[in-house]
Amino acid sequence: MSSPLGVFRHFFKFHRRKPPIGAEQFRQACPHLLCFPIVGPEASRTSSPAPGLLLGLLITLVAVVVYSLYTASQIHQVRQIQQHLVDRNRRDSLQLLRIQDNLHALGLAMRDMLDESEPYPLTAWSTQIATIRRDLDDAIQKESQLSPSRSTDQVGYLKRSQEQFWDAFDRAFDTAKAGNEPGARRMIRDSLQSRQAALTSAVARLLVHNNEAEVEAATQISAVYDGVERNIYLFLAAMLCTIALTGTLLFYSNQRLFRRISDLSGQKSELSRRLITTQEETLRHVSRELHDEFGQILTAVGAMLRRAERNPAEHLVSELHEVKAAAQDALDKVRSLSQSLQPVMLEEAGLLATLDWYFPVVEKQTDLKITYEKPAQAPAISSTKAIHIFRVIQESLNNVVRHSGSGTATVRLQTGTATTVEIEDFGSGFDSAAAQKGIGLVAMRERSAMLGGTLELIRKPTSGMLVRLTIPYAE
């Protein structure tokens, strides 16, 4: 039968081949904790609905402004048509009717003047004719001001006809005053009545022209109103379509965001449950290790000391060497367990020294060749940040060992305006189906969020994965 010291040495050699307590026990307690989904930078960022909503809002505002300007111009056009055509034509028609009434009064006066049964001389109508003349001249003057768009020929014809008519009337009154009333009546009958009829016809034509202009203006106004009404319906339809599209985008964006929030909430709940389970498993393992390993080690040390008391003095030195070796193995085991649970070196020596110690340990335990590229100067990283960076590196390397099948990995630590940590392997990457079941990515992203940074997992074009943790410098 072997001695107790030989049994425990064999036990130590067996357990020294195991990885540290943190990685192994985390894998035992959470078999999917370190499985990461295969995502790239474009998949890791959730698209925001803000650009689409802002674009829809911008299009709506531009459409409202353009349509408002268009409507204002149409209303201004209608107002101009009403002011410059309809209203002026209406007032011009009133003056033409006034002229027509005066011409009709002149016609009645001339008819009475030609009636030889009247006992009055022709000069008796001079006062009535002068009153009609003043009113007619005033009406013609105002009418010419209200119709500046009338052709020069029309204005000139009306003015010449008026002047010729009054010249003829003056000659007829002069003839009557000279005592030749029959000649004056003949002039009225032969010349003045025809001229009065010509003026009446010209005024009637002008009234017809005004009526035609009013009809044309009414047609234009109706067309403008029809266009405005049609455009209002088109604008409302376009706005309804824009609102529907924006609302649909907002609905699906909110639905996607709520689904994302629900998934994250479920993952965090699962993470909390597994972390509690992991904590209990870790405490149970520590208790078992202390009871089974170190209790038996100390028992063996006591047995060897008792045997040394019974043996002759010449065997004391060899027994003490065995006790020393057992105590040293127990000390190494305690240090390994302590460093696995919480590396004390992070607080005492900093992140760079801890990584210098950790990478050879991983290479010895897993046969993974690690290329470490570190900055020339030690970065000013607090212990609170250092533990999260260390855990991200630790879990990334464990995933390289478990999933990538690569025998080499590269770890780069860069400092400057930001602290960047990259873990790159050259294997087959992660299994996406198995990765979706794990929450390791959630745990790593939680750590990066606690640091105020970002975490990217990028599948390289050739082979392998690149894990990049970027932490902005804010001390």
- On the CB side of 164, how many CA atoms lie within 13 Å of its CA? 14
Residue 150 has pLDDT above 70, yes or no: no
Name the band, by pLDDT with cuts 50, 70 and 90, for residue 452. confident
Domain extent listing, the chain: 4-45+311-472, 52-245
Task: Please name the helix (run of DSSP H) or strand (run of DSSP E) that holds residue 424, with its range, or none.
Answer: strand 418-425
Predicted pLDDT at 421: 92
Name the band, by pLDDT with cuts 50, 70 and 90, for residue 152. low
Gap between the Cα atoms of 119 and 15, Å rounded: 156
Residue 419 has pLDDT above 60, yes or no: yes
What whole-number percentage of the chain has pLDDT above 90?
A: 3
Name the band, by pLDDT with cuts 50, 70 and 90, for residue 20. very low
Name the residue with higher pLDDT: 366 or 276: 366
Residue 445 has pLDDT above 70, yes or no: yes
Of the candidates 445, 338, 441, the residue with the CA atom closest to the CA atom of residue 388: 445
Level-2 CATH architecture, domain 52-245 = Up-down Bundle (1.20)
Compute the average pLDDT of residues 249-256.
Answer: 83
Predicted pLDDT at 447: 83
Name the residue with higher pLDDT: 289 or 45: 289
* 8 A C-beta contact, residue 469 and residue 455: yes
Chosen CATH of 4-45+311-472 out of 3.20.20.70, 3.30.565.10, 1.20.1600.10, 3.50.50.60: 3.30.565.10
The one-letter code for the residue type at 274 is R
Q: For 93-143, how does the pLDDT look when each residue is reduced to its tens digit (9 = 90+)?
A: 888 888 889 888 888 888 888 877 777 788 888 888 889 888 988 888 888
Q: For 191-211, how does the pLDDT look when each residue is reduced to its tens digit (9 = 90+)?
A: 888 888 888 888 888 888 878
Name the band, by pLDDT with cuts 50, 70 and 90, for residue 411. very high
Residue 3 has pLDDT above 70, yes or no: no
Lowest mean pLDDT among 354-368, 393-407, 421-435: 421-435
Gap between the Cα atoms of 326 and 3, Å rounded: 13
* 8 A C-beta contact, residue 468 and residue 421: yes
Residue 430 has pLDDT above 50, yes or no: yes
Gap between the Cα atoms of 411 and 369, Å rounded: 11
Global pTM reads: 0.42
CA-derived radius of gyration, the chain: 55
Task: Please name the helix (run of DSSP H) or strand (run of DSSP E) that holds residue 373, with its range, or none.
Answer: strand 369-373
